[in-house]
Structure 1
Amino acid sequence: MRSPFAKPDAAALVAAWRAAHTGRDLDDWHTAAVDDVAHAITHRRDASESARLLGRHRAGAGIGMREGVEDLETPYRLHFRTAPPHAVSRAFAEGWADAEVETLLGRASVDSLTGLATYDYVCARLSEIYAESPDIERCFVIVDAPNRLTNGPARLARSLGLSNLLRSVFSTGETTAILPHGLFVALVARGDSLGDSLQRLSRGVGAFETAADTSGRVRVWVEPLPGTQKLAEELLLELDAA
């Protein structure tokens, strides 16, 4: 079937796109990036950079990544009867994620004591993962240090030591964090190197336990990511509160 936008008429495509839009916040829907995406489509040019800017705008307007990607598909289906190229959808997701991280950095995304990420930052990363790359198998590596030390300086030393250990083991872009009640967590991809990382972590924890003379053993284990972001966030809170 021939496209109704065979001629390079970006304005007509924008109008049809807006009419087909079923998401929320329609008053904030139109932006210069919308015009740029439509112009790239109707002139058969790569829309990746325009989609990246659109992703940033949608994140700033409070639009979720999945909803935004579905909206981005509309002009492509209207014009080409196909989904957007992967590069365009990925650019949108990257722009959205960049804006979300920048917003998060304006809040408490780093624990001031340990330098590890906070629960809010982990949630932001989970949002990216579940929306953008669910095909990559990931897991939580959990380090639980029972808070039984009566000596305040000893507790501080243990927290700093475990945070440094976690960072040293997972030092290639993984998210390492400390949760509100002191549970340590790393968000990592499952792969051939995970076993070696767990061994290094366990050896480090064993040596640190002896040095710190804790009254409760530090435990290390792996939790698979649940099927949804909400379940993953709830799992962390439940483990942290246990």
Structure 2
Amino acid sequence: MGVCSVAGQVMARDGASVEETLAGLRETCRSITGEDPTYDVVAATLSAWSDTTLGYLHQLSCEDPLTGLSSQAHLRGRLSELYRLGDADPGGITGHGLVVCALPLGDDPSEEPGDHFTRAMRLARAGELARTAFARDETVARVGMHRVAVLTRRDDRMGRRVRVLRTMLETAQPGGAGTSAVRVWIEGLPPTDAGAGMLLDELARG
């Protein structure tokens, strides 16, 4: 079914609709085998088509559909806007910082290690607390499976807000304050836009 998956991906990238994909699949199968495609062939093709289409839509979206936080793609776009302003502009990249919250690994309350919904709810809760600590126009985004990042202005209150956020996140963990491995830190932004993209990719893998 590998060929069917590749065909579904290619059709999605070309912007083909479901109807166009099914019509093309039927025509191809009839020309080769003289018969309509089997259920397995249709399922493999449409599964690849839907996964590719959904991934493309998520990249365009400003909001992560599971958590309600800004998407990583949106955060990447906001960073690019700041880099374009240049170092001299006080509203540019040098006037901003990236606060990263990393939730503990391996302590999901779900019994299923692959429970994406449970992890998403934990990230959504962390995002709510981040918006409480950073209550201005900051971008609060999901980065990977266990991290939330806040793009915020650098000012004399930034450090205090980070400490408040760390306390709230620790208190919200099952064991309460002082028992959690929650980490919150200020990540230095690289000098170039391309470097910022690599930084986000690295944070998402962590």
Distance 1:150 1:209 in 2: 10
Give, in angstroms, the shift of residue 132 of structure 1.
1.5
Match of residue 232, structure 1, among 171, 187, 196: 196
Choose between structure 1 and 2 for higher RCO, CA contacts under 8 A separated by at least 6 residues.
2
Match of residue 129, structure 2, among 158, 162, 165: 165
Distance 1:202 1:183 in 2: 13
Q: How does 1:71-150 map to 2 (within 5 A)?
A: 107-135=60-88, 136=90, 137-150=95-108
Distance 2:83 2:68 in 1: 25
Q: Assess if the C-alpha contact under 8 Å between 1:209 and 1:217 holds in 2.
A: no
Structure 1: which 5+ residue stretches go unaligned?
1-103
**Structure 1 residues 196 and 120: alpha-carbon distance in aligned structure 2, compared to 1, 3 A threshold:** same
Q: How does 1:1-242 map to 2 (within 5 A)?
A: 107-135=60-88, 136=90, 137-152=95-110, 155-210=119-174, 217-242=181-206
* Deviation readout 1:117-136 (Å, 9 max, x if unpaired): 11110111111101125333
Local SS of the residue matching 2:60: coil
**Structure 1 residues 212 and 156: alpha-carbon distance in aligned structure 2, compared to 1, 3 A threshold:** farther
Equivalent AA in structure 2 for residue 134 of structure 1? D
**Structure 1 residues 107 and 155: alpha-carbon distance in aligned structure 2, compared to 1, 3 A threshold:** closer
* Deviation readout 1:95-135 (Å, 9 max, x if unpaired): xxxxxxxxx99922201122111111011111110112533
Equivalent AA in structure 2 for residue 235 of structure 1? L
What percentage of aligned pairs have identical amino acids? 28
| TM-score, normalising length: structure 1 | 0.51
**Structure 1 residues 165 and 176: alpha-carbon distance in aligned structure 2, compared to 1, 3 A threshold:** same
Distance 1:150 1:225 in 2: 30
- RMSD of aligned Cα (Å): 2.8
Structure 2: which 5+ residue stretches go unaligned?
1-56, 111-116
Distance 2:120 2:86 in 1: 37
Aligned length: 139
**Structure 1 residues 147 and 108: alpha-carbon distance in aligned structure 2, compared to 1, 3 A threshold:** farther
Q: Assess if the C-alpha contact under 8 Å between 1:110 and 1:117 holds in 2.
A: yes
Give, in angstroms, the shift of residue 226 of structure 1.
0.7
Distance 2:131 2:102 in 1: 15
* Deviation readout 1:61-105 (Å, 9 max, x if unpaired): xxxxxxxxxxxxxxxxxxxxxxxxxxxxxxxxxxxxxxxxxxx99
**Structure 1 residues 113 and 154: alpha-carbon distance in aligned structure 2, compared to 1, 3 A threshold:** closer
**Structure 1 residues 114 and 229: alpha-carbon distance in aligned structure 2, compared to 1, 3 A threshold:** same
Partner of 1:72: none
Of the two, which has the highest radius of gyration? Answer: 1
Q: Assess if the C-alpha contact under 8 Å between 1:144 and 1:218 holds in 2.
A: yes
**Structure 1 residues 148 and 139: alpha-carbon distance in aligned structure 2, compared to 1, 3 A threshold:** same
Equivalent AA in structure 2 for residue 121 of structure 1? H
**Structure 1 residues 200 and 128: alpha-carbon distance in aligned structure 2, compared to 1, 3 A threshold:** same
Q: Assess if the C-alpha contact under 8 Å between 2:119 and 2:146 holds in 1.
A: no
Equivalent AA in structure 2 for residue 234 of structure 1? M
Equivalent AA in structure 2 for residue 140 of structure 1? L
Equivalent AA in structure 1 for residue 205 of structure 2? A
Distance 1:220 1:206 in 2: 10
Partner of 1:26: none
